[in-house]
Amino acid sequence: MFRKFQAPCAITLLSLGCLGQASAHWLDGQNHVALELGSNRVSQQNLYQQGFNFVNIGFDNDFKATSARGISLGRSLNIGPRIELNYSQRSNDIQRFGNRLYDGGGVLTGEGKEQLKAWMVNLWYDFDLKPFGLPIKPYIGAGMGQGRLEVKGLAAGGVSFGDASADVDVRQWGFGVSWDVSDTFTLDLGHRRLRTSTGNFGSIPNIPAGDVEARYRAFTTQLGLRLKF
C-alpha cells in the first residue's frame, strides 16, 4: 500500500520545493507544520456481500477529543492558498449490529474498533479579514489520498469475526477558521467531512463465504496548532 502513498507525497513535496524556491511575489509565504486533535463521528456502515446488504454497523459517536489525530506539513501563500501533506488516524468503537440478514434481523450489541489511517494532499483557501479589522481567517478546501480501513476485535452475540482490513481511496472537504496567536503560532478550529471508496475486506470468519465490502464516512471536528517556519 505504501506505493499508493508515493503519488500524493511526491506531489506535495515537489510543490513545497517549488514554492520555497520561487521568487515571484505571488508565491511569497511561510512553511508550517501542524498537529490536529478532534472528535470523530462515523455514519452507519452497511456491509455488503455479493451485492446484498447483510448487516449494518453502528458506532459510538460520543464526543471524544482524541478519536481523530493528524499531522500536516505545508506552505501558506500570502495570497490565500495553503497546500498540505496530511497523515491522519480516526478510530471509533463498534456499538451495535442491525438489519442482520443471516440471523433474521434485529439488533445485537457489537464489539470491536474501526480505524482509518490515511495520507492526503489538501488544498485550502484562507480569507484574510484583517483589512476589515477582524483577526481571523475563515477557510474552505478539499483533499484526496489513500488510506487503510481496519477493523479489530469484531464480535457480536458471543461470536468472534476477527480482524479485517481494506485499502481505500479517500476524499474530504472541510471548512474552519484560524487565528494567528503570534507570528509563529496559529490556532485552527475546523470541520472535515470524509468518505472513502468501497473497500474489499475479503472473506470474514463465521459468516457465509464471500468478499465483504463497505464504504466509510466520517465527520470530524478538530482543533489544530500550526507552527510556522
Which string of DSSP letters, residue by residue, matches 102-115? GGTS--EEEEEEEE
Q: Are 152 and 112 in contact (CB under 8 A)?
A: yes
Single out the residue of 229, 176, 169 nearest to residue 194, CA to CA. Answer: 169
- pLDDT at res. 152: 95
Query: Is residue 200 within 8 Å of residue 166, measured between CB atoms?
Result: yes
Grid cell 452507519 in the structure block, residue? 44
Q: Report the candidate in 125, 135, 115, 118 with the shortest Cα–Cα distance to residue 186.
A: 135
Can you give the pLDDT at residue 16? 52
Task: Give the model's pLDDT for residue 15.
Answer: 52
Check if the beta carbon of residue 42 is closer than 8 Å to that of residue 218. yes
Range of the domain at 83: 2-228
**Set of cell numbers at residue 157:** 452475540
- pLDDT higher for 90 or 157? 90
d(Cα 173, Cα 185) in Å, to the nearest integer? 24
**The three grid cell numbers given for residue 92, joined into one nine-digit string:** 471509533
Residues 177 and 166: beta-carbon distance below 8 Å? no
Domain of 71, CATH number, reads: 2.40.160.20
Residue 78's pLDDT band (cuts 50, 70, 90): confident
Q: Going by C-beta distance under 8 Å and a sequence separation of 6 or more, which residues neighbour residue 74?
A: 12, 16, 31, 32, 33, 34, 82, 83, 84, 85, 122
For residues 196-222, one letter each, b for 16 or more C-beta atoms within 10 angstroms of the residue's C-beta and e for the rest, the string is bbebebeebeebeeeebbbbbebbbbb
Q: Are strands 212-214 and 52-59 parallel, antiparallel or unpaired?
A: unpaired
Is residue 114 very low, low, confident or very high in pLDDT (cuts 50, 70, 90)?
very high
Supply the mean pLDDT for the chain.
89
The 10s digit of each residue's pLDDT in 34-44 is 999 999 999 99
pLDDT for the residue numbered 6:
54
pLDDT tens track for 128-146 = 998 888 999 999 999 999 9
Alpha carbon distances (Å) from 41 to 77, 173, 201: 32, 15, 21
- pLDDT at residue 17, as a whole number: 52
Domain tally for the chain? 1
- Calculate mean pLDDT across residues 149-178: 95
First to last CA, the chain: 31
CA distance readout (Å), 44 to 13, 18, 61, 95: 36, 42, 10, 10
Task: Inform me whether the pLDDT recorded for 126 exceeds 80.
Answer: yes
Residue 8's pLDDT is: 53
